[in-house]
């Protein structure tokens, strides 16, 4: 059984994950109408992944005797001046999500809820990977600069982008 304060904190994270899915979805839509099909495909996949993160939390809350809540979401930004700006916003958003997860972990330690703490370690590892992917993308974008040929290749190649993290969430 989880405490009411942990239940509330987890439900807050459900909203963060749902909003993350919406952020990626808005980015996918923007990229798609700009003809950046590879970026759009990448963002649609990321949106789906964030929704899975949300569902994993919902199942955990309900299985531990809590009641998962679906709440109103803050509308994401739907326009960007450039694909570079969009990916910078994505990176900043991932840092925000990492901070939310870290705060949640701190709450579980303070309350000595070691089951939830253990459950959240998957999210900690996932955020390390998410930030690494975002940083790698920003590094590639920096190399491209304003080169249209570079943008073409980036858009084509991002579909296969796979950054391996130094943390393996299946270990430990």
Residue 99 annotated as lining a ligand binding site:
no
Per-residue pLDDT of 57-77, as tens digits, reads: 999 999 999 999 999 999 898
Residue 67 annotated as lining a ligand binding site:
no
Distance CA 103, CA 162 (A): 28
> SS3 breakdown of the chain: % helix, strand, coil, rounded to 5?
75, 0, 25
Q: Which residue has the higher pLDDT, 73 or 149?
A: 73
Confidence of residue 144 (pLDDT cuts 50, 70, 90): confident
Q: Per-residue pLDDT averaged across 91-106, rounded? A: 97
Residue 117 annotated as lining a ligand binding site:
no
For domain 4-69+78-160, the CATH architecture is Up-down Bundle (1.20)
**pLDDT score at 164:** 42
Given a cut of 60, whether residue 84 has pLDDT beyond it is: yes
Task: Output the CA angle 96-67-170, nearest 5 degrees.
Answer: 55
Threshold 0.85, pTM exceeds:
yes
Write down the domain spans for the chain: 4-69+78-160
**pLDDT score at 162:** 53
């Amino acid at each position: 059984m989880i405490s009411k304060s942990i239940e509330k904190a987890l439900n807050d994270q459900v909203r963060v994950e749902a909003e993350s899915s919406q952020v990626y979805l808005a980015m996918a839509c923007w990229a798609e109408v700009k003809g950046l099909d590879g970026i759009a495909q990448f963002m649609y996949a990321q949106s789906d992944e964030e929704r899975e993160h949300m569902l994993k939390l919902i199942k955990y809350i309900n299985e531990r005797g809590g009641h998962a809540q679906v709440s109103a979401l803050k509308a994401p930004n739907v326009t960007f001046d450039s694909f570079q700006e969009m990916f910078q916003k994505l990176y900043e958003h991932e840092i925000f999500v990492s901070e939310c997860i870290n705060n949640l972990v701190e709450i579980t330690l303070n309350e000595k809820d070691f089951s939830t703490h253990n459950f959240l370690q998957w999210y900690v590892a996932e955020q390390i990977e998410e930030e690494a992917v975002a940083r790698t993308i920003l590094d590639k974008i920096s190399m491209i600069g304003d080169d249209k040929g570079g943008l073409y290749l980036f858009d084509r190649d991002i579909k296969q982008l796979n950054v391996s993290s130094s943390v393996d969430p299946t270990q430990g």
